[in-house]
Structure 1
Amino acid sequence: MSKKDKNNATANESVDEQIKDINENSSEDTRTVEEQLTEELAHEKDKFLRLFAEFENYKRRTAKERSDLFKTASQDVIVSLLPVLDDFDRAYTEIAKTEEKDLLKGVELIKNKFRNTLENKGLELMNLQAGDEFNADNHEAITQIPAPNDSLKGKIIDVVEKGYKLGDKIIRFPKVVIGQ
């Protein structure tokens, strides 16, 4: 082999080694780029899922706040109408004592229509009677009197003012007299 051929062979070997090194380095660089892109993709997916979950929580929270707002808006109006309902009950009781049956029937019709309208909006009367157990969470004791008999001790003797619920919430506690 001539000197020229030897130099060409050495040069070819050197070029082959350089190409091999470049290929190895580029495959390592490609792997690191792929790994970086995979990590970035995983990070962005995690960020997206967190943002999506936060948005779902926001929607749920605002829907609940909105329904609560509607409930409390109607609650204020209904609470302000409860004294009118009490007045109808008192008027009905007093007119029932007279002989004016037509007047009694008219007041009864108006009272029932008013009560039905409020009940359609969610108002519910808390039914209490003398002899029911007193519960400080659900009743407001305005006074205690000596019980007429031992079976009425700690129980409701009289209901002074009716209590009402709007949905599950008590909007006016019944005022009661309890036996001592």
Structure 2
Amino acid sequence: MSTKETKEPVNMEEHQEDSLEQETGSDVEQTTQLDDETPAAEEINAENAAITELQRLADDNHSRYLRAQADFDNFRRRTVKEKEELTQYASLKLITQLLPVLDNFQRALQTGGEGSESESFAKGVDMIFRQLSQVLEGEGLKPMESVGQPFDPEFHQAIMQVESEEYDEGIVVEAIQTGYILKDKVIRPAMVKVSG
């Protein structure tokens, strides 16, 4: 007995449904892949935005650091300059107090009378005056040479205006009180008469 294989008839509708399921399955797979890619793209965009924000913050902090460093450098320079000035003018108060002493010595020398006693007195006072002047000059004190110079309100204090044939207008003709400069700073202007 021979057995024949019987072929079952192929149902076309079932075949179409199978192929439709296969196509639909691959569409679902593609959609799933797209869905997987979309959140990844959003994550990348979010991460890029976060990186941009962090970079901006880093740049801001760097700018603040540079400003703070510059402020500190300026503060340090200013402090060093103030310290140098303090050291340079430390004797200012003492010298200011000694200026009237110099004035009195000058007056005593100018009013010295004649005779042997007054002559020796004048020599002694002159010696003290020179000694004191040398000490003060050693500290950086210089008397102003005012007579014959143009009047300058930074260096001179005019107390009188006088007619003068010897000097042009605006020239100091006489110093009533000597002015002094300590290093490069006027500590007392000269009291002067100015030609008018």
TM-score range normalised by the length of the shorter chain: 0.7 to 0.9
Aligned partner of 2:129 among 108, 111, 135: 111
Q: CA RMSD in A?
A: 3.3
Aligned partner of 1:170 in structure 2 is 186
Aligned partner of 1:17 among 21, 28, 34: 34
User: TM-score, with normalisation over the residues of structure 1?
Assistant: 0.74
Corresponding letter in the other structure for 1:83? P
Aligned partner of 2:176 in structure 1 is 160
Q: Note the residue ranges of structure 2 that are not aligned, 5 or more in a row.
A: 1-14
Instruction: Judge conservation of contact 1:164–1:171 (CA < 8 Å) in 2.
Output: yes
Percent identical pairs in the alignment equals: 26
What is the deviation of 1:173? 1.8
After superposition, residues 1-180 of structure 1 pair within 5 angstroms as 6=22, 9-70=26-87, 73-93=90-110, 97-99=114-116, 106-129=124-147, 132-137=148-153, 138-147=155-164, 150-152=165-167, 154=169, 155-180=171-196
Instruction: Judge conservation of contact 1:153–1:178 (CA < 8 Å) in 2.
Output: no
What do the CA deviations read for 1:62-116 (whole angstroms, capped 9, x no partner)? 3344444456653232111101112233344556855367665554443333222
Q: Structure 2 CA distance, aligned partners of 1:97 and 1:23?
A: 113
Deviates more, 1:9-18 or 1:25-34: 9-18
As a proportion of its length, which structure holds more helix? 1
Q: Structure 2 CA distance, aligned partners of 1:19 and 1:139?
A: 90
User: TM-score, with normalisation over the residues of structure 2?
Assistant: 0.69
Q: 1:26 to 1:157 in 2, by over 3 A?
A: closer
- Give 3-state SS (helix, strand or coil) of 2:40's partner: helix
Larger radius of gyration: 2
Q: Structure 1 CA distance, aligned partners of 2:48 and 2:185?
A: 63
What do the CA deviations read for 1:28-56 (whole angstroms, capped 9, x no partner)? 12211111111111111111122222222
Q: Structure 2 CA distance, aligned partners of 1:39 and 1:178?
A: 67
